[in-house]
Structure 1
Amino acid sequence: MKRRDFVGLTGLATGALFLPSLPGMGGVLVDPEQLLETIDPALKKRLADAALNAAKSAGASYADVRIGRYLNQYVFTREKQVQNITSTESFGVGVRALVNGAWGFASTNLVTEAGIVQAAKNAAAIAKANQRVQKEPVKLAAQKGYGEVSWKTPIERNAFEVPVKEKVDLLLAANAKALENGASYVNSALFQVNEQKYFASTDGSYIDQDVHRIWPTFNVTVIDRATGKFRSRDAMASPMGLGYEYLTPRASDKLMGPQGTGVIGYKQRYDILEDAALAAKQAKEKLTAKSVTPGKYDLVLDPSHLGLTIHESVGHPTELDRVLGYEANYAGTSFATLDWKAKGQPYGSKLVNIVADKLQPGTLGAVGYDDEGVKTKEWDIIKDGQLVNYQKIRDQAHVVGQQESDGCCYADSWSSVQFQRMPNISLRPGTAKLSVDDMIKNVDKGIYIAGEGSYSIDQQRYNFQFGGKVFYAIEKGKIAGMIEDVAYQANTQEFWGSCAAICDQSDYRFLGTFFDGKGQPGQVSAVSHGSSTTRFNGVNVINTARKI
């Protein structure tokens, strides 16, 4: 990454899930027109067959090959100027081979028959070496082959086909809206990702997928020149598995937050101009907002905030490799062990129903098949407050006595080995009709929180602390003005056990991230979390500005 790219990127408040790397930034810089080129599936099949045959000849009982072309474009602006425009391409092949119950993996950017055959031979040789030290053989859940199939993100407008000038004009217009409404500084960016992935395996699958994702974002800062105080607010946009149509707002996609907050929620379309103007106003309002008084409060959490809490306190602790202790990078293992689950302890109140899926249209995790050729699906993680299942892939299913993978295997590059990654993890909406304003009417002393902020969580994903973007006091059933310096503390069971009400499907929205980190060496993946506004009673709130 060039220094100017790094400066432009890290100048953005990209949220608590940001990691200092972007998918595909290791690729080569290309002309934007090259991003529209395609590769003949017949050629990919021929190359894949060469790899599979070579792996089998080298002793593999199973092998798979991923031919990946990863395209990215990043547009950065600040105030009235363009800072940088970067287009990259990363193209190569990864081969995985199972020999005598041990895995081997090798990759190459030499995408020729000779190059891919050599990678397959290398993968088999590594598997044989690993077999000498492996204590238990890998057991793969059975998987049928699907033959030649394809899947594409259902988009209306390919973001890579949109002229760069149109994207720049939109970002600069958003900057102008922020400046018109009192911003002292503003920067904005548009991230676009296209994963062209071809998977083939000795099971008989040849799967061609075309995955699109997009993320518009900005950061607004307002300075009080008299006092030197400043406050910021970044975008309420969530990255989505959509095309450029995401930036074409529709009235039906806009949801107004509680009366007295001005907060706006967005579903499948996002209005960056409207949000930038509101961000400047809210950043200015923060300068004079009262500091919160610590204590117990009922929390009303907007989906733009709750998604992060779901991610950290449910998503990661239900990854089976963390549960088993195989994975401990990026905040440790999990309290929700197999023994803990067997005791039948509640994960939350009976209102809490959380599902995993890689199906919901528009989500970052939506694909037709995962990176080991398993058709994706939806399954329960928490049902009526009880932990009922984990997230698992083909070589993990037998550990919990199951016969199939959940289809949540992923690698962030052709050069990375695929492993278990978090699918979309979402809280089901309430079944009874309930609006946010009606929910707030039943709160005597509370806080409404929108947008994700800083957070911390312990090594077993149990004790945690979360902040947000904007906070509003609730007094006797009404919004009583903006407050600042809010963070709430709880443990996972206490927090989800305090879940007292969930708004209905009409309020359901997504929060997502491009940067879910896991593994060593680290990889990032994209994931969404759906929810409706939810109330949690009697949660401990601290003042983050007060010294201990």
Structure 2
Amino acid sequence: MKRRNFIHTAALGAGLLAAPIPIFGKNIFVEELLNPGMDVATKKALADVALNTARGLGATYADARIGRYLNQYVFTREKMVQNTVNTESFGIGIRVIANGTWGFASTNDVTPDGIKKATELAISVAKANSKIQTDDVVLAPVQGYGDVSWKTPIEKSSMSVPVSEKVDLLLEANARALENGADYISSALFSVNEQKYFASTEGSYIDQDVHRIWPTLNVTAIDKASGKFKNRQGLAAPMGMGYEYLIPDKSEEIMGAGGVVLYRNRYDIVADAIASAKQAKEMLTAKSVEAGKYDLVLEPNHLGLTIHESVGHPLELDRVLGYEANYAGTSFATLDKLEAGDFNYGNELVNLVADKTQPHSLGAVGYDDEGVKCKKWDLVRNGTLVNYQAIRDQVHMIGQNESHGCCYSQSWNDVQFQRMPNVSLEPGKEKYSINDMIKDVEKGIYLVGRGSYSIDQQRYNFQFGGTLTYEIKNGEITGMVNDAAYQSNTQEFWNSCAKICDKDDYRIFGSFFDGKGQPSQVSAVSHGCSTTRFNGVNVINTGRNI
């Protein structure tokens, strides 16, 4: 192996060790992140090569996605920079319907000749598949939008911020954590820019520029006498924003219960690092929770994950139909439950919506990856199941004729398929704060942030823990506890919903790398909610052998 290749591979490996994340593309120099890339007129001309070739070979439908995917990851630990990774992936994916069947091919040879060959291959794949497929693909109609564009509404591109500035911020957070009692701390910043161009034989030419950002940290405090240690993860949610997310704004500040300082649409990584160190030390001496029935007060950074697992995944139509059974399971929310029209998902307080247009969310785009204009729709209304998440070739299976606009591919090199949109719990309608909620609890547990979790293959029975756990007695938080997790099933849990804070407490949780499909792909998705109370939920002690 050449020394240059060894350094490239070793550097990439170090980054992966720092965080188990998928990294696509080739390593590039940091200044190449600011290269504007291919102009829109050239993309349109090249996309037309694919569309015209497909038509000429008998395709009844074709789409082409030219994608440039930029990633920057900065990793630090204590006083050191562990690694920086800058990658670029560029190519075109071509999807066709021929003989009533899908075919797909891709190439990084984005020239007329390269695109023509890839399109011919996609047609060949479709015709080969048609020999064993019994039913033709049925696509819901969608209008052609002509030449349109969409961009994440950012104030400052993270890619334009010097690496040195990002490193300084992360190292400052590390230093402040160490000053306040942390024994170890690691921090990182992930920045993503997807430059995507979509064209179809239905007349759409859609150019989109999508930005996402995710700062992370993990603090460890050790009791040197006993050798015991506790970890406290950062409370940042990944967001569909630019670097402005890391610039604190006091107007965005929300004071959580237990003195936990939180923000809406902003994140102060230095303040969180200080709090992480202090709270990790507090965990070392906190008592272990007593198992039993409690009223749970769940803040958005925690409840978002429960929404993701107990609502987002089971209401994906391909999972309901069994297409994901070999990899990620099926769903308890089967078709007969939707058809009945009265399936009780939760009580009347529970309104869960899917929304690909939600500002600052990870899933926000103007159009999905098959050219459908994105929208908001109901999944559960007043506790009743009313819909799933479905794309163009699925909605006819549930008697609908309009795609929900939630098709996505992680890159130009992968075929697009149904992915979870942002799935969120609507806030309460009456004025009600988190402090009001705490005062109304006699015996409860307040959970902040995500911890361990487990859920069965039908997304029904589950167990969740948090980053920080506080005990509530007689309307007051009495202190931190360890080893708490709650157990329930999806229907029981959402029927125990007792109160939801109003829109002033509404915040977004996010999953930057949500896996699905074979071959596996990742996507980014957010879940919004306000702090919510669930009454009479079973809390177990995870630190004791039972």
2:338 aligned residue: 341
Q: 8 Å contact 1:108–1:116 — kept in the other structure?
A: yes
Is residue 264 of structure 2 the alignment partner of residue 267 of structure 1? yes
- Deviation sequence 1:281-300 (CA, Å, 0-9, x none): 00000000110111111000
1:485 aligned residue: 483
Residue 345 of structure 1, CA deviation: 2.4
Is residue 278 of structure 2 the alignment partner of residue 291 of structure 1? no
Secondary structure of 1:196 counterpart: strand
Residue 9 of structure 1, CA deviation: 4.5
Is residue 159 of structure 2 the alignment partner of residue 160 of structure 1? yes
Secondary structure of 1:345 counterpart: coil
Secondary structure of 1:496 counterpart: helix
- Deviation sequence 1:290-335 (CA, Å, 0-9, x none): 1011111100000010000000000000001111112225530100
Q: Map 1:302-317 onto structure 2 (within 5 A).
A: 302-317=299-314
Q: 8 Å contact 2:18–2:75 — kept in the other structure?
A: no
Residue 340 of structure 1, CA deviation: 2.1
Task: Determine the C-alpha separation between the residues in 1 that align with 2:441 and 2:339.
Answer: 36
Task: Determine the C-alpha separation between the residues in 2 that align with 1:2 and 1:466.
Answer: 37
Task: Determine the C-alpha separation between the residues in 2 that align with 1:32 and 1:348.
Answer: 49
Task: Determine the C-alpha separation between the residues in 2 that align with 1:332 and 1:143.
Answer: 30
The structure 1 residue matched to 2:360, chosen from 359, 362, 373, is 362
Q: Which amino acid aligns with 2:401?
A: Q
Task: Determine the C-alpha separation between the residues in 2 that align with 1:111 and 1:294.
Answer: 60
1:146 aligned residue: 145
Residue 6 of structure 1, CA deviation: 4.4
Q: Map 1:37-56 onto structure 2 (within 5 A).
A: 37-38=35-36, 39-56=38-55
Is residue 117 of structure 2 the alignment partner of residue 118 of structure 1? yes
Task: Determine the C-alpha separation between the residues in 1 that align with 2:270 and 2:56.
Answer: 58
2:329 aligned residue: 332
Q: 8 Å contact 1:77–1:172 — kept in the other structure?
A: yes
Q: 8 Å contact 2:338–2:387 — kept in the other structure?
A: no
Aligned residues: 537
Q: 8 Å contact 1:331–1:460 — kept in the other structure?
A: no
Query: Measured at CA, do residues 97 and 491 of structure 1 come closer, stay the same or move farther in structure 2, by a change above 3 Å?
Result: same
Secondary structure of 2:338 counterpart: helix
Secondary structure of 2:349 counterpart: coil
Residue 37 of structure 1, CA deviation: 1.1
2:5 aligned residue: none
- Deviation sequence 1:2-55 (CA, Å, 0-9, x none): 45544555445xxxxxxx442xx2310001111111211111001000000111
Q: Which amino acid aligns with 2:202?
A: D
Task: Determine the C-alpha separation between the residues in 2 that align with 1:459 and 1:82.
Answer: 40
Q: Map 1:150-189 onto structure 2 (within 5 A).
A: 150-189=149-188
Residue 341 of structure 1, CA deviation: 2.5
Secondary structure of 1:453 counterpart: coil
1:513 aligned residue: 511
Residue 229 of structure 1, CA deviation: 0.8
- Deviation sequence 1:365-396 (CA, Å, 0-9, x none): 00000000000000001100001010000001
- Deviation sequence 1:71-106 (CA, Å, 0-9, x none): 000001111111101100000110000012100000
- Deviation sequence 1:97-138 (CA, Å, 0-9, x none): 001210000000111111011111111110000001001111
Residue 521 of structure 1, CA deviation: 0.7
Secondary structure of 1:395 counterpart: coil
Q: Map 1:399-548 onto structure 2 (within 5 A).
A: 399-548=397-546
2:3 aligned residue: none
TM-score, normalised by the number of residues in structure 1? 0.97
Q: Which amino acid aligns with 2:323?
A: Y
Secondary structure of 1:352 counterpart: coil
2:202 aligned residue: 203
Task: Determine the C-alpha separation between the residues in 2 that align with 1:181 and 1:478.
Answer: 26
1:15 aligned residue: none
Is residue 89 of structure 2 the alignment partner of residue 90 of structure 1? yes
- Deviation sequence 1:147-186 (CA, Å, 0-9, x none): 0101000001011111111000000011011111100000
Secondary structure of 2:435 counterpart: helix
Residue 342 of structure 1, CA deviation: 2.9
Secondary structure of 1:369 counterpart: coil
Task: Determine the C-alpha separation between the residues in 1 that align with 2:130 and 2:142.
Answer: 23
The structure 1 residue matched to 2:373, chosen from 362, 372, 375, is 375
Query: Measured at CA, do residues 289 and 9 of structure 1 come closer, stay the same or move farther in structure 2, by a change above 3 Å?
Result: farther
- Deviation sequence 1:432-488 (CA, Å, 0-9, x none): 100111111111111000001111111111001111101000011110100000111
The structure 1 residue matched to 2:297, chosen from 297, 300, 305, is 300
Secondary structure of 1:524 counterpart: strand
Q: Which amino acid aligns with 1:429?
A: P
TM-score, normalised by the number of residues in structure 2? 0.97
Query: Measured at CA, do residues 535 and 178 of structure 1 come closer, stay the same or move farther in structure 2, by a change above 3 Å?
Result: same
- Deviation sequence 1:322-363 (CA, Å, 0-9, x none): 111122255301000111233322100100001001111110
Q: 8 Å contact 1:331–1:458 — kept in the other structure?
A: no
- Deviation sequence 1:384-420 (CA, Å, 0-9, x none): 0001010000001111111110000000010000000
Q: Which amino acid aligns with 1:282?
A: Q
2:100 aligned residue: 101
